[in-house]
A and B are shown apart, each in its own frame.
Chain A
Amino acid sequence: MIQERAAAPAALHWPDVLYQSLRDAGITHASYVPDAGHARLIERLRADPDVSATVLTTEEEGIAVAAGAWLGGKRSVVLMQSSGVGNCINMLSLPMIARFPLLMLVTMRGEWAEFNPWQVPMGAATAPALQAIGVRSFHVETPEDLLETVSAAAIEAFDGDQQIAILIGQRMLGEKKW
Chain B
Amino acid sequence: MVSGLDRRRVVEALLAGRGDALVVTGLGSPSYDVHAAGDVPANYYLWGAMGSASLVGLGLAQAQPGKPVLVITGDGEQLMGLGGLATIGIAAPDNLTIVVIDNGHFGETGMQDSHTGLGIALDRVAAACNFAVARTASSQADVDAICAEAGRKAAGPRLFVIKVKAENLPRSLPPRDAVFIKNRFRAHLGLATA
Contacts and interface: CB of A to CB of B under 8 A. Distances in A.
User: DSSP majority for the B interface?
Assistant: helix
B191 interface: yes
B128 interface: no
Interface stretch (B9-17, B56-64, B110-118, B144-152): B56-64
Interface residues of B, number: 34
A147 B24 CA distance: 35
B160 interface: no
Nearest to B57: A68
Contact of A61 (B44, B62, B84): B84
B83 A90 contact: no
B64 A57 contact: no
Contact of A73 (B46, B58, B181, B189): B189
Contacts of A60: 51-52
Q: Which size class do A's interface residues fall under? A: 20 to 34
Nearest to A56: B87
Nearest to B55: A64
A64 B179 contact: no
A10 interface: no
Contacts of B24: 68
Sorted nearest first, the 7 A-B pairs with minimum C-beta distance are A68-B59, A72-B63, A57-B83, A98-B178, A64-B55, A64-B52, A69-B59
Interface of B: 22, 24, 44, 46, 48-52, 55-64, 81, 83-84, 86-87, 90-91, 178-179, 181-182, 185-186, 189, 191
